[in-house]
Amino acid sequence: MIRIDPIAAHARTRPSKRALVGLDEGSAYTWAELDVAVNRCAHWLIARLGPCSGERVATLAKNTPTMLILQFACARAGAIFVPLNWRLAKGEVAVLLADSAPALLFHDADFDVTGLACGTSPIADLATLVQECSGATPPTGARQPWEAPSTLLFTSGTSGAPKGVMISEANAYWGATNFMLGYGVTVDSVFLCDMPLFHTAGLFAASRTPILAGGTLYMSQGFDAAKTLSRIADPLLGITVYFSVPQMAQMIWNFPGFKPAMLQGLRVYATGGAPNPKTQIERFIKAGIPMSDGFGMTETGSVSGVPLESAARVTAKAGSIGLPFISIETQIVDETESAVPDGERGELWVRGPSVTKGYWNQRQKSASAFHDGWFKTGDIARRDADGFLFIVDRKKDMFISGGENVYPAEIEAVVAELREVAECAVIGIPSDAWGEVGCAHVILVAGQQLTAEDVIAQCTARLAKFKVPKVVIFAETIPRTASGKVQKHLLSPK
């Protein structure tokens, strides 16, 4: 039976090397210390749940090294780690708890868990776990098979109730391997993670990757433009890899006093989770910051990225999500599920060992989302002659105006070129004349001014007439999930 445990392996080969640091609480672990901490936590879980139990162990907590310790301990103990979105309302958390039915719920003292159902009494102090049991390695028989679920990660829920994605240690290994080889991550790489650990980008791309590679991971409780920028710029930390959603990159660029030299230590600035405008990628690349947009999902792990070997090539392919990573197959299909030629649009399908086997307690949704090993992403994409993938839009976001398919992401990218625009989201709204027309929700950069006519003129100059939005709304906020995805079902035409 395959069992790959990167922490145990690095504890043997580089025991005194720094592995994991909690920047906000001041904790730090070498690989040997991290291995002992995971063993202590695994013994604690086995004593309460039994070995190879498959029981769920949930958290309601902000980023901390102890969360990663608990995740690896669950794998060694044969339990399933369930990090819950702490930004949700208590009623929404209750729905996830009812679905996952955890035996244990760990939480920060800041979170009120009164009235939340759980198998045992919640434990407030997550940090005490690593102090209570032996540091000896738990028996290998306590583990679940490598292909069995070890993490249950709920999707963002941009269009409805979140779904619990079953992620195995095999899925996690291959997802991290994809990111590691795709971006040249090595034992010398130093990551900063301030993406939330209840999201695949934080828990796997930004955390599991450096752990697999034997690098160093600095953990932050969350993104703060001032703190994040100062940490990346700090030569004592030596951050070389950073992952964020595009909106975070924009906040860093617009932060008062920002200078591109502050990010010159980065070898990789990876973005994902939402479309990264072509103009933003070009801006970072021209400033000497190696930005690469990529693609991944909770269901798939890391799928693709733009190779950073040539700045000219990155600029030429700006707007692309890159090439498939080493273990990934992709195809683009039409409505008959037949592959389309390069340049034509269709739904992106993904296959590979990092792709989940399905959703927790959702057989029907699992059956409809998978076909012959392929996962149907729901994203409309095209592939160019060089094999680079471009996301056109979410399939569900497309609307039809006068009989023509309109993809909001295309309009959003054009509006984003206006220097006055901080964010833009486009939806289709009913129209007596055309069936549907575009409605653009726009947030302006602080201190900037723009009129609806300016936005429409920009689109008229760049887009076909049927794509030009008929309504422009200036807003203060656009609803987003914790991972930065726009919740378009919450947008209103008023």
Q: What is the pLDDT of residue 94?
A: 87
Q: Which of 147, 160, 143 is nearest to 52 (CA)?
A: 143
Please give the average per-residue pLDDT across 371-385, as a whole number.
93
Query: What tokens were used for 4?
Result: 């790959």
Bridge partners for 376 per DSSP: 349
d(CA 19, CA 217): 6
Other C-beta atoms closer than 10 Å to the C-beta of 167 total 26
Return all residues near 278 (Cβ < 8 A) that are at least 6 apart. Answer: 318, 319, 413
> Over the stretch 164-175, which tens digit does the pLDDT of each residue have?
999 999 999 999
What's the CA gap between 363 and 369, in Å, rounded? 10
How much is the pTM?
A: 0.84
d(C-alpha 266, C-alpha 288), whole Å: 10
On the question of pLDDT at 355 being above 90, the answer is yes
Residue with the two structure tokens 């405008």: 277
Q: What would the 3-class secondary structure string for 145-204 be?
A: CCCCEEEEEECCCCCCCCCEEEEEHHHHHHHHHHHHHHCCCCCCCEEEECCCCCCHHHHH
Rounded Cα distance between 76 and 141, Å, is 9
| pLDDT 10s digits, 40-89 | 999 999 998 999 999 999 999 999 999 999 999 999 999 999 999 888 87
Q: Which range, of 13-27, 186-200, 204-218, 400-414, averages the lowest pLDDT? A: 400-414
Q: Identity (one letter) of the amino acid at 291? A: M
Which amino acid, one-letter code, is at 212?
L
The string of pLDDT tens digits covering residues 248-285 is 998 899 999 999 999 999 999 999 987 788 889 999 99
Closest residue by Cα to residue 74 from 163, 175, 149, 162? 149
- The answer to whether the beta carbons of residues 77 and 146 sit under 8 Å apart is no
The H or E element containing residue 82 is: strand 80-83
Please say if the pLDDT value at position 371 is more than 60. Answer: yes
How is residue 163 written in tokens? 């779904």
Find where tokens 């010159």 sit: 264
| Structural domains in the chain plus CATH codes | 6-319 (3.40.50.12780), 398-490 (3.30.300.30)
Kindly state the tokens that stand for 492. Answer: 């209103």
Q: How far apart, in whole angstroms, are the C-alpha atoms of residue 269 and residue 292?
A: 6
Distance (Å, whole) CA 274 – CA 290: 18
Q: Mean pLDDT across the stretch 437-443?
A: 94
* pLDDT at residue 159 greater than cutoff 80: no
Query: In angstroms, rounded to a whole number, what is the distance separating the alpha carbons of residues 418 and 424?
Result: 10
* C-alpha to C-alpha distance for 246 and 154, rounded to whole angstroms: 21
Residue 316 predicted with pLDDT over 90? yes
CB 23 within 8 A of CB 219: yes
Three-state SS for 428? strand
What pLDDT score does 109 carry?
79
- Helix or strand (DSSP H, E) at 280: helix 278-286
Residue 491's pLDDT band, with cuts at 50, 70 and 90, is confident
Length of the chain: 494
Check residue 126 and give its pLDDT. Answer: 67
Model pLDDT, residue 232 = 98
What's residue 407's pLDDT? 78
Give SS3 for 314.
helix
- β-strand pairing of 346-351 with 374-383: antiparallel
